[in-house]
Amino acid sequence: MVNDIIADSLTRIRNASMRRLDTTTLYYAKVVVSILDVFQAKGFIEGYKVVEKDKKQSINVVLKYDERGRSVISEITRISKPGRRVYKARNELKRFKNGYGTIVVSTSKGVIANDEAYKANVGGEALCSIW
């Protein structure tokens, strides 16, 4: 049993990219799918597919590499944890890593990237960061 499904998913993506694997498998959760939508929109992963096997769902994630074979993901970290929630106001979400990185934020408008949250004038719980 996994206590923190988001941290488990990020660790699986991090480990697979360090090993230069093409795909990795994650446990299914709606919030993980929302985070993967943000990663795909920002160009950190090629794509993902929800697969059902024996009435259990899982997610196959296709990782992205540059022309030299290096992972597009330099660093991926969990910000808000079950033991310590981290909330950010709108003005704290303006830029991350000079615009190269993204903070994934859970807001009242859904799970979105930090630049979209800033434009929508909302803050929320900072789930993870990637660059």
Q: What's the rounded Cα separation, in Å, for the pair 131 and 103?
A: 9
Residue 98: its pLDDT value, please?
Answer: 81
- The predicted-structure confidence for 39-94, as pLDDT tens digits, reads as follows 999 999 999 999 999 999 999 999 999 999 999 999 999 999 999 999 999 999 88
Provide the pLDDT for residue 85: 96
pLDDT band at 99 (very low <50, low <70, confident <90, very high): confident
**pTM > 0.85:** yes
pLDDT digits (tens, 9 = 90+) for 11-24: 999 999 999 999 99
